[in-house]
Amino acid sequence: MNDFKDLLGDIRQARDEIHVRLHLASMEAREEWGKLEAKWDDFAARADVEATTEGVGAALHQLGGELKEGYLRLRDALRG
C-alpha cells in the first residue's frame, strides 16, 4: 500500500508542475494534457474506492504507472 501512496504522490507532483507551465504550452501539449486528465479522473475515483480495501488492484496500479509515465513525459517536454 505504501508503494501505491508513493505512486499517487509522484503523479500529483507531476500534475502540479505541468499545470503551472501549461498556459505557455503548444496545442499538442494541451491535447496530451486533456487525455491524461481524463485518465486521471478515472484513476482518482477508483483509487478513492480501492484505498479503503486491503490491496490495490493490478489494473489500478498499471493505470497509475501509465499516468505517471505520461505526466513525466509531458512535464519533461514542457521543460524544453
pLDDT tens string 7-56? 999 999 999 999 888 887 888 889 999 999 999 999 988 887 766 666 66
Distance CA 33, CA 25 (A): 10
Q: Please tell me what DSSP assigns to residue 23.
A: G
Q: What is the mean pLDDT of residues 56-78?
A: 89
Structural domain spans, the chain: 2-79
Coil, strand or helix: which one is 55? coil
pTM of the predicted protein model: 0.73
